[in-house]
Amino acid sequence: MIRFLARLLGIVIGASVVAGIASSLAALKLKQSASPRPDAADDEIDLVVVMDGASFASTAPAFRGGRVISWYAGTDVDLREAKLDPAGARLDIRTVFAGTRVVVAPGVSVRTSGPAVFGGVMKPGGVAAPASDAPGLEIAGCTVFGGLQIVVAEQGEEIPPWTPERAAEPAAEPAAEPGAELA
């Protein structure tokens, strides 16, 4: 029985090493074939960040979305200065052993969808509720051993480092007006 368990453990460790090497080689190949970083004024972006860190701030006059891939990387996508296309925008985000943070201005309607495998999607209470007929930002994300965080911030407001503790904080409740009764 012990020999069986030792062999099984050896196979699992060997498979993990082979998978890690294959993943790293695939990431390097993707990095070499990636298109150049998008311009801040582009209405559609294709941002590929592999084994690196990147910050991208959009000033697009009619942002329609695009694709963000973070593989063994950390990526910030700041959309506070971008004007969304009247028809809305769709951002496809893929993270593998990585983290991606999308920063939007207050009042922007954000919808998120997609799986998180050993990872998560954090959407704070300050994100505007999506109206059924209003265009907004749709984020289709897939995270594997990583995270996707949506942050709401005013233009010029400093964005603190991404920490799970900060992302998990509940949204602050509005203060009661003087003289109002508490329920």
**pLDDT tops 60 at residue 38:** yes
Q: What is the pLDDT of residue 180?
A: 41
Q: What is the pLDDT of residue 32?
A: 72
Task: Say how far apart CA 40 and CA 58 lie, in whole Å.
Answer: 4
Q: ∠ CA 27-21-45 to the nearest 5 degrees?
A: 10
pLDDT tens per residue, range 78-117: 999 999 999 999 999 999 988 999 999 888 888 888 888 8
- Calculate what percentage of the chain has a pLDDT beyond 70: 81
Structure tokens at 3: 């020999």
Phi, psi of 20 (to 5 degrees): -65, -45
The answer to whether 122 and 49 have CB atoms below 8 angstroms apart is no
- Residue 14 DSSP SS3: helix
pLDDT tens per residue, range 118-139: 888 887 765 656 565 667 899 9
pTM of the complete model: 0.74
